[in-house]
């Protein structure tokens, strides 16, 4: 059985790789939140299991 979440676009976020706007997508994967770019092959896994920090909000802030 496969439970695949749908990719959702992150409004106002730009890709750190190709720098295109509104191309970033995310979904809840098995290992955490995955992010990817719709324009290039950029992909990132945001595995932040419950830590002391508050859950990160999707506000489109990326490290360069
Ligand atoms: Zn990109």
What are the C-alpha distances in Å from 48 to residues 1, 8, 31, 34, 57? 25, 19, 9, 11, 12
Q: Which residues of 2-13 are buried (b: 16+ CB within 10 A; e: fewer)?
A: eeeeeeeebeeb
- Measured in angstroms, how far is the CA atom of residue 23 from the centroid of ligand 1? 7
**Token digits for 9?**
């676009």
- Measured in angstroms, how far is the CA atom of residue 22 from the centroid of ligand 1? 10
Decide which of 7 and 3 is more confident: 7
Ligand 1 (single-atom ion) residues, CB below 5 Å: 15, 17-18, 37, 39-40, 42
- Measured in angstroms, how far is the CA atom of residue 51 from the centroid of ligand 1? 29
Q: Is the pLDDT of residue 51 over 60?
A: no
Q: Is the pLDDT of residue 54 over 60?
A: no
- pLDDT tens readout for residues 14-49: 999 999 999 999 999 888 889 999 999 999 998 765
Q: Which pLDDT value is given to residue 12?
A: 95
């Amino acid at each position: 059985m496969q439970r695949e979440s749908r990719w959702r676009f992150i409004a106002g976020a730009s890709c750190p790789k190709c720098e295109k706007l509104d191309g970033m997508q995310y979904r809840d994967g098995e290992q955490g939140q995955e992010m990817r770019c719709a324009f290039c092959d950029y992909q990132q896994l945001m595995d932040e299991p419950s830590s002391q920090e508050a859950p990160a909000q999707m506000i489109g802030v990326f490290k360069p």
